[in-house]
Copies of this chain bind each other. A is one copy, B any other.
């Protein structure tokens, strides 16, 4: 299990190198989230809660590993300023079977979205605005 909270960019290809190596791993799923340039967005700033962030992500990742019996699990989440096209975060899961690798990755994303202490502020043509949490994101937790 590898968890990193950082301001610097990261390279998903390099992070996946060697991830899930091992003769009992049949499936690796990765998700990478990027800043979209929708509606004139010029930049984004992500604030987080140092200390709690790492703990919250470790708890979420630990639950994913236990529940889907993952061979490995990776979470990287950036904070600070970012521009459209830049990568915000990634998760990866390694498992015996395809279904569990997919499910665990979606579980990680749903929980990171609503239970890890990050807040996005968008800077666009009309000024700056904190991104509001969406009811669907909270509802998504209900499926797990």
Contacts and interface: CB of A to CB of B under 8 A. Distances in A.
Interface string A64-107: 00000000000000000000110000000000101001100110
A105 B20 CA distance: 19
A46 B111 CA distance: 38
A32 B106 CA distance: 16
Contacts of A27: 31-34
Interface of A: 12-17, 20-38, 84-85, 96, 98, 101-102, 105-106, 109
Q: How many copies does the complex hold?
A: 2
10 contacts: A13-B15, A13-B17, A25-B36, A26-B33, A26-B34, A27-B34, A28-B34, A29-B105, A31-B101, A102-B105
For the complex of A and B, the 10 pairs showing the least CB-CB separation, nearest first, are: A13-B13, A23-B37, A26-B36, A28-B32, A23-B84, A30-B30, A13-B17, A13-B16, A29-B31, A23-B85
B106 A102 contact: yes
